[in-house]
Amino acid sequence: MKARKLLMIPGPIEFEPEVLQAMSTPTTSHLAPDFTESFGNSLDMMKEVWLAPSGQPFIVAGSGTLAMDMAACNLVEQGDHVLVISTGYFGERYADLLRRYTPNVDVLKADLGKVVPADQIEDQLKKKNYKLLTFTHVDTSTAVINDPRPIAELGKKYDVLTILDGVCSVAGEEIRQEEWGIDVVFTASQKAISVPPGLALLVASGRAMKVWKNRKTPVANYYADWSNWLPVMEAYGSRKPAYFGTPAVNLVLALEKSLQNILREGVEKRFMRHQKMGKAFREAMKVAGLQMIPDTEQVSANTLSAPYYPGGVQGKEFLQKASREGIMLAGGLLAELKTQYFRVGHMGSVNRADLLATIGAIESALRHCSYEIEPGICLKRAQEILDS
């Protein structure tokens, strides 16, 4: 019997064995030729995965919150006007972070389960001379997805830098950074990139780098300052060692392996796989009678789902029952709804067997919570989608 539970939370996720093997290799020097090659390879492959061939990638030891902070502190100065498009907890959190660097932060908050319409964003952009516009691609608290294309178009139209929070989307949801004209796309290693937690990953456009180079004041964050990290990235990109802060050596080795896996699969096929997995899960929950936080298919993420508990089902009991079935799920994150819904991550290396095992565990947990559901109905619907 396998003792370890299947990790189906929004992150960390399940990792491929070869990625974990890279983590466990003897740690080498961060200046050694073999590590320099691995770091440089990872930088090159990030541009392929982000679909940003002329972008500037950054690999820094830290969490996704550090990636958020790097994008903000390097591009924002005191007095700048910033617009945040919020679809949940992490939009509000970014607004809070940005206020460390300028008091002029406006937030357009979507109604629960919805996105902010593009015309409303444009109306706001007309009111002020904004320097920066941020939005969360997939908010991990709600599983709501924003379409980046119209927002990026508005950024270009009004000459506003655009930052995409891709923590729960990069390497899972479709992102074409350079083609769509998004200035910064950042993520964390433990989501669809499929590497254990500990790396902040970011790609900046040429326009973003130019704005940073022309800023009038020093960056108000020493560790996150691109002035310290850009020479390191440029050196490793040229396969030369460099130092500012010691990199997370084994995590970078794991990143190289995972990026190789992603590119071997192909980013287009990866987008399509996540689309099918997300749809299969949502359809399975629908036949079970569970409603989702996103109110339409168009705003439903493929990397993550957020179903409400059905009437009469208590969240704590449900999650315990699912855990006994060998599946770890996540509770709600929004404070006002924390006990009313749960979250399931289905991204990265999660495969068909993982998804079906999770759906089966949810069925079983619901029945053990005295919720009437026909055995196998969810699995049947998911299989129909996966087989189509």
Domain boundaries, the chain: 17-265, 267-387
User: Does position 365 have pLDDT exceeding 50, yes or no?
Assistant: yes
- pLDDT reported for residue 4: 85
Q: Is 335 exposed, middle or buried (0-12, 13-18, 19+ CB in 10 A)?
A: exposed
Total residues found in the chain within this entry? 388
Coil, strand or helix at 328: strand
For the segment 203-215, what is each residue's pLDDT rounded down to a tens digit? Answer: 999 999 999 999 9
- pLDDT reported for residue 1: 44
Residue 223 belongs to what H/E stretch? none
Q: Please give the share of the chain, as a percent, with pLDDT higher than 90.
A: 99
- Asked if 138 contacts 87 with a C-beta cutoff of 8 angstroms, the reply is no
List the structure tokens of 71.
């994008």
List the structure tokens of 148.
């980046």
**DSSP category for residue 296:** S
Q: Please give the share of the chain, as a percent, with pLDDT higher than 70.
A: 99
User: Does position 265 have pLDDT exceeding 60, yes or no?
Assistant: yes
User: Does position 2 have pLDDT exceeding 70, yes or no?
Assistant: no
3-class secondary structure per residue, 52-99: CCCCEEEEEECCHHHHHHHHHHHHCCCCCCEEEEECCHHHHHHHHHHC
What do you get for the CA distance between the two ends of the chain, in Å? 32
User: Does position 240 have pLDDT exceeding 50, yes or no?
Assistant: yes
Give CA 60 to chain center in angstroms.
16
CA 280 – CA 321 distance, rounded (Å) = 22
Topology classification of domain 267-387: Aspartate Aminotransferase, domain 1 (3.90.1150)
- pLDDT reported for residue 3: 73
User: Does position 304 have pLDDT exceeding 80, yes or no?
Assistant: yes
**What long-range pairs does 269-274 form, CB within 8 A, spacing at least 24?**
270/171, 270/172, 271/172, 271/173, 271/174, 274/172, 274/173, 274/192, 274/302, 274/303, 274/346, 274/347
For the segment 9-27, what is each residue's pLDDT rounded down to a tens digit? Answer: 999 999 999 999 999 999 9
Residue among 61, 120, 111 nearest 91 (CA): 111
User: Does position 225 have pLDDT exceeding 50, yes or no?
Assistant: yes
- pLDDT reported for residue 206: 98
CA 40 – CA 35 distance, rounded (Å) = 8
Domains 17-265 and 267-387 share a fold: no
- The mean per-residue pLDDT over the stretch 291-297 comes to 98
Cβ neighbours for 87, distance < 8 A, ≥ 6 positions apart = 110, 114, 115, 116, 135, 136, 139, 142, 144, 146
- Cβ neighbours, 10 Å, residue 383: 17
Strands (E) located in 234-333: 304-305, 327-328, 330-331
Instruction: Provide the whole-model pTM.
Output: 0.97
Q: Which CATH class is domain 17-265?
A: alpha beta
- The mean per-residue pLDDT over the stretch 269-281 comes to 98
Cβ neighbours for 208, distance < 8 A, ≥ 6 positions apart = 75, 161, 183, 184
- The mean per-residue pLDDT over the stretch 48-72 comes to 98
